[in-house]
Amino acid sequence: MRTTSQILTTIDAVDDGRPLPELLCVDCDEALGLSGSAMSLMNDAGHQGVIGCSGPLAGQLEELQFELGEGPSLDASRSNRPVLRPDLAGALSQWPGFAPAALGAGVQAVFAVPLQVDAIRLGSLCLYRSAHGALDDGEAMTTVAYADAAVAVLLRLQAGAGGAAALPPELGRPLEYRAEVHQATGFLSVQAAVGLPEALLLLRARAFSSDRPLLQVARDVLSGRIRILRGDEDD
């Protein structure tokens, strides 16, 4: 079983230029025999961006959760409780968009842990496995240790940036990326005369129906290349 201090010592010892969140996820994969893991920023508005992942699979599935507005990382952050799904096939009704996509990518089990300090929501750490089965006691304690290490990494990055006004690149880039989606949501809210939650649903529905990334659709809305109205109709 790995402890939080052991995890931080291990990733601090790696000097190959990779960001700490990525190193933590790679180390987590090796320790727990995962097919992928990812750290994402979260706040009261929801998923704010992936800040570290062990590989393309985990990164793509985290991005999918943002685009769909559903999934284990979001649920863990919202409830401030771990979300443990040792058999992802049993979560098809819970996550009708995310679960089939994750299963199709070869994931059979997911475990998400909230990253939080007191009442302050920071994010989620999500673990992906290619085999069914629950975490045993040792694996569960190791998962908690990695979640604590992830919180320590986030706080260290923020402290090193000199405060909230100066986000380090690892934290700033995801927020900048998401800003265009939030701007498009506000624009669409006015354009379609709907509230912000419904505007985001319209945006996600268009991205899903056209099989395009949410960010591309958001940019098209902001540039005026497409109009989305209620019922997903174009002008």
What residues does each domain of the chain span?
4-160, 169-223
Question: What's the burial of 42, exposed, middle or buried (CB within 10 Å: 0-12/13-18/19+)?
Answer: buried
pTM over 0.75? The answer is: no
And the tokens for 91? 């979560």
Is the predicted pLDDT of residue 225 greater than 80, yes or no?
Answer: yes
And the tokens for 30? 């090796």
Q: Model confidence over 81-134: pLDDT tens digits?
A: 999 999 999 999 999 999 999 999 999 999 999 998 877 788 899 999 999 999
Q: Model confidence over 99-108: pLDDT tens digits?
A: 999 999 999 9
And the tokens for 200? 């985001």
pLDDT at 202: 82
Could you check whether 4-160 and 169-223 share the same CATH topology? no
Nearest Cα residue to 197 out of 185, 211, 213:
185
Distance CA 65, CA 202 (A): 16
pLDDT at 184: 80
With cut-offs at 50, 70 and 90, classify the pLDDT of residue 161. very low
Strand partners, 37: 127
| CATH number for the domain running over 4-160 | 3.30.450.40
pLDDT averaged over every residue in the chain: 84
Strand partners, 49: 41
How many other β-carbons are positioned within 10 Å of the β-carbon of residue 117? 10
Distance CA 135, CA 215 (A): 35
Share of the chain above pLDDT 90, in %: 48
- The CATH T-level fold of domain 169-223 is Arc Repressor Mutant, subunit A (1.10.10)
